[in-house]
Copies of this chain bind each other. A is one copy, B any other.
Amino acid sequence: MDGGGGGLKPMDSEQLREYGHQMVDFVADYYKNIENYPVLSQVEPGYLVKLLPDAAPNQPESLQRVLDDVQSKILPGVTHWQSPNFYAYYPANSSVAGFLGEILSAGINMVGFSWITSPAATELEMIVLDWLGKLLKLPQEFLSSGHGGGVIQGSASEAVLVVLLAARDKTLRMVGKSALGKLVVYGSDQTHSALQKACQIAGIHPENCRLLKTDSSTDYALSPEIVSEAISHDISIGLIPFFLCGTVGTTSSATVDPLYSLAKIAKSNGMWFHVDAAYAGSACICPEYRKYLDGVEEADSFNMNAHKWFLTNFDCSALWVKDRNALIQSLSTNPEFLKNKASQANLVVDYKDWQIPLGRRFRSLKLWMVLRLYGVENLQNYLRNHIELARYFQVCVGQDPRFEIVAPRKFSLVCFRLLPPVDDNETRGSNKLNQDLLEAVNSTGRVFITHTALSGMYTLRLVVGAPLTERRHIDAAWKVLQDEAFTLLCSPLQENGNLPKSPPPIGFFGNGFKAEPLPQK
């Protein structure tokens, strides 16, 4: 018995050292070869159950055997978010610094629900979110020195949920809790689906979640006039507007809602104004992009995902609020078994009361390491480089008259589509064509892009954001897109053997499109 663990030594420091080195080598080799994997996994549903036993082993297996299985059975089923050829969704950056933070956090493996359960975890989180808040030039009220502060959530979904709950309960404390059915939330049809999900969870009636229509006239940004009208109408029929969500960098097209005007509307109606900058927030540490946050000083809460485009491994979603008590009033519980002197004396922050779960990991370590090991200037240049690569891709697309850019590019997302042949320009045909192109390029395993719908148009999205992506990868991605487009557009002819199999030179389908000059390599 004195050997601990009944013979098993699950926490032997020398075994941890030896096996830990092996696993680090495995990961380093993975990165070394990452371009050789199909970026989008090409397995069929249910592939893995055929490869693994149907029960856990009774006796231990060797690490080598497990690593062999990772290589031969798990990696083929992985979609490689860290591949330089990953352009889908929004990125989820890994980095050496973020990876080191994860190792350290896993090693310490503490559960920081209350300050006392590891004071350093709470305090480092407050400090690092103040650092990041200052980089983003957030107003003082969002920093920890006043009534507000920052907190790391698992995701932007949790961030919008907790502030929605805070706003809901603040309103219900004024109007009485029986008014829940009258509460109304506003966003746009471009707002992330997390808002709708948060409403479902919080018991907001689905028909009281207003996802107001946008269109190309505002580049898919939320129109203040439409918000004002909706609010006035709702008030006139006895409903209670209480929450407005603005976005800086929507998921579909990275558009930016007019924060100032929205904040003003929210304020004059006593509503909570939340700003979701999950993706584009990172870019706003560069002075030239900070303008997109103008108006955030009037918001009640602000969120950006350091785990997207800020080199901090998933998960690390940074949320700031001006009134931390609003969060705490909604989310606190105070069972006897968690009481302790520091909490009872109100001397400390207990982050359990700022989030949905009780337990929480030491996630600030990785953000701290990213900021320290890279430094602000490198981080700014890292983001600028991706934006420049996206601009380069946009120019490539713009020079090929077979394609069109569908929405203006502000950051590192390019929205584009393949134009249908001249005699087939109705939406359904066009949408089918682009859906086929998406399937075709993703099936090559050489690039992974995703899509969205803008004004009913099936639109391809290419986001530059993986740490390993270089200009040569953009060139290769564009070549795959051109090749597959050629195949799709020409396939009936090809079958008749009337056209060459290689793609045409740019301008083959020339129709007078005015091209931007290509940037110098």
Contacts and interface: CB of A to CB of B under 8 A. Distances in A.
Contact of A45 (B80, B348, B451): B348
Contacts of A377: 58-59
Interface string A360-373: 01000100110111
Nearest to A251: B337
A290 interface: no
Given A193-B333, A314-B109, A119 B77 contact: yes
A476 interface: no
Given A13-B29, A31-B13, A341-B439, A106 B94 contact: yes
Contacts of A356: 157-158, 161, 197, 201, 356
A200 interface: yes
A16 B11 contact: no
Counting chain A residues whose Cβ lies within 8 A of the other chain, the interface size class is 35 or more
Given A40-B116, A96-B10, A467 B135 contact: no
A181 B357 CA distance: 24
Contacts of A134: 55-56
A154 interface: yes
Interface in A102-125: 102-104, 106-111, 115-121, 123-124
A408 interface: no
Copies in the complex: 2
29 contacts: A2-B470, A2-B472, A2-B521, A4-B470, A5-B382, A10-B95, A10-B97, A10-B467, A20-B24, A20-B100, A48-B124, A55-B134, A56-B372, A60-B372, A63-B100, A66-B369, A74-B120, A74-B124, A78-B120, A79-B110, A79-B117, A81-B111, A92-B110, A94-B106, A99-B107, A155-B357, A200-B331, A252-B336, A336-B453
A96 B24 contact: no
Interface in A187-246: 192-194, 196-197, 200-203, 205
Interface string A278-291: 00000000000000
A27 B331 CA distance: 34
Contacts of A79: 110, 116-119
Interface string A458-489: 00010000011111100000000000000000
Contact of A89 (B201, B337, B376): B337
A264 interface: no
